[in-house]
């Protein structure tokens, strides 16, 4: 059966990995800087930092934005649990926004109706690599003076108006490089900032709040005059993981082309089928086709039929508003309709659709 996900790993990397393992430089170093440079070039944005995991990326973003216990954020329940669990860790109040049942993207009108004086941020998830209404959500943030974070956990390489996600005008963008993503660094992530000051702040928060340029005295001792003013994390990506990222970035364009070609074939196959519709894309967007999304009249039967045809299929995620940890089990009509019909099938680089 063709899998829904598959970790990518470049060929002929064992010698380089061995060299790194015995180099004495295992922490963030030359490969970390190279990986970030590649990300900057690919995304088209200067203020990019790599991190050790997606979870750490989210925690850094929450700290960078100054969010505190009890603050209110608007987010989509149609997303990976990893996207929303950091809110619970930080003690934030999550207000769930409804989604468009045709594609699972956040509904701008519903977001607007839920903005209050207590709203501190909007987290805009791009479900399974399918981009949402970026301009409309960003305009809400601008109008109300609220930062918007593009949650690109599954959307690295997706495009909006010809630009890569991370370079579409949003305040902050978060990516995951966990094993089944592209690129994957075994575990890792990245954050993109539009604002240089927030980026500089995040660089400190990523490394325990330490300014490494003054952290040690000329003789190598910790400098007592180097004050730590910010909360921080052990968020630096190792050079081993970074190296894997650099090699994956060498191949990223060709891998995404395969996925887009596979999607074209799926589009044709579902054109005249009444029981299965391709997920409707938002205007001016191109998914990365991490998976291929469909809306099926009978979800259970469709999953069974796809599997019997040799394609692993799944609903991918469960809507997060069912979880007690978020203390907000509100029922949302668009969410319910979308989750009752959404089925993802393989679209990845590991097979050629025919």
Domain boundaries, the chain: 14-96+103-251, 252-345
The pLDDT of residue 30: 96
Mean pLDDT of the chain: 97
* Shared fold status for 14-96+103-251 and 252-345: no
Q: How confident is the model at residue 302 (pLDDT cuts 50, 70, 90)?
A: very high
The pLDDT of residue 223: 96
Q: Please state the rounded mean pLDDT for residues 61-75.
A: 97
Q: How far apart are CA 256 and CA 287, in angstroms?
A: 10
Using the predicted structure, report yes or no on whether residue 16 has a pLDDT greater than 90: yes
Q: How confident is the model at residue 151 (pLDDT cuts 50, 70, 90)?
A: very high
pTM of the model: 0.96
For residue range 105-116, list pLDDT tens digits in order. Answer: 999 999 999 999
For residue range 176-186, list pLDDT tens digits in order. Answer: 999 999 999 99
The pLDDT of residue 173: 98
The pLDDT of residue 321: 97
The CA angle 169-123-88, to the nearest 5 degrees, is 150
DSSP-derived letter for residue 2 is B
Using the predicted structure, report yes or no on whether residue 272 has a pLDDT greater than 90: no
Q: Please state the rounded mean pLDDT for residues 294-322.
A: 97
The pLDDT of residue 284: 95
Q: How confident is the model at residue 328 (pLDDT cuts 50, 70, 90)?
A: very high
Q: Please state the rounded mean pLDDT for residues 25-29.
A: 95
| Contact status, residue 259 vs residue 289, Cβ threshold 8 Å | yes
Class of domain 14-96+103-251: alpha beta
For residue range 205-253, list pLDDT tens digits in order. Answer: 999 999 999 999 999 999 999 999 999 999 999 999 999 999 999 999 9
For residue 109, the SS3 value is helix
Q: Please state the rounded mean pLDDT for residues 127-140.
A: 98
Alpha helices, H only, the chain:
14-21, 30-43, 54-64, 81-90, 108-113, 134-144, 196-205, 239-269, 299-308, 333-341
Using the predicted structure, report yes or no on whether residue 346 has a pLDDT greater than 90: yes
| Contact status, residue 297 vs residue 325, Cβ threshold 8 Å | no
Torsion angle defined by CA atoms of residues 60, 64, 70 and 72, in that order, rounded to the nearest 10 degrees:
-100
The pLDDT of residue 230: 96
Q: Please state the rounded mean pLDDT for residues 286-306.
A: 98
DSSP-derived letter for residue 323 is -
Class of domain 252-345: alpha beta
Q: Please state the rounded mean pLDDT for residues 66-80.
A: 97
Within 13 Å, how many C-alpha atoms sit on residue 308's CB side? 6
Closest CA to 121 of 99, 98, 150: 150
């Amino acid at each position: 059966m063709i899998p829904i996900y598959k970790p990518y790993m470049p060929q002929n990397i064992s010698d380089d990995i061995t060299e790194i393992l015995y180099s004495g430089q295992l922490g963030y170093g030359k490969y970390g800087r190279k990986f970030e440079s590649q990300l900057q070039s690919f995304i088209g944005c200067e203020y990019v930092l790599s991190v050790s995991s997606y979870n750490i990326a989210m925690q850094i973003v929450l700290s960078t934005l100054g969010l505190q216990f009890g603050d209110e954020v608007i987010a989509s329940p149609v997303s990976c649990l990893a996207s929303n669990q950091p809110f619970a860790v930080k003690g934030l109040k999550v207000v769930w926004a409804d989604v468009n049942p045709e594609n699972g993207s956040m509904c701008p009108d519903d977001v607007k109706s839920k903005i209050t004086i207590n709203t501190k941020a909007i987290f805009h998830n791009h479900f399974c690599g399918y981009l949402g209404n970026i301009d409309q959500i960003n305009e809400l943030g601008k109008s109300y003076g609220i930062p918007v974070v593009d949650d690109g956990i599954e959307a690295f390489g997706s495009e909006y108006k010809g630009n890569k996600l991370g370079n579409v005008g949003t305040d902050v963008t978060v990516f995951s490089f966990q094993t089944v993503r592209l690129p994957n660094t075994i575990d890792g992530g990245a954050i993109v900032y539009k604002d240089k000051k927030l980026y500089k702040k995040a660089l400190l928060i990523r490394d325990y709040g330490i300014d490494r340029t003054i952290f040690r005295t000329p003789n190598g001792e910790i400098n007592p005059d180097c004050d730590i003013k910010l909360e921080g994390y052990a968020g630096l990506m190792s050079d081993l993981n970074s190296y894997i990222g650099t090699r994956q970035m060498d191949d990223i364009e060709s891998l995404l082309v395969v996925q887009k070609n596979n999607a074209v074939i799926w589009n044709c196959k579902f054109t005249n089928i009444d029981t299965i519709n391709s997920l409707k894309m938002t205007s001016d967007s191109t998914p990365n086709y991490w998976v291929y999304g469909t809306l099926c009249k009978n979800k259970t039967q469709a999953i069974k039929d796809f599997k019997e045809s040799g394609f692993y299929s799944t609903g991918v995620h469960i809507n997060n508003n069912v979880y007690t940890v978020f203390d907000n089990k509100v029922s949302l009509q668009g969410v319910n309709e979308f989750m009752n019909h959404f089925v993802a099938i393989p679209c990845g680089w590991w097979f050629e659709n025919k």
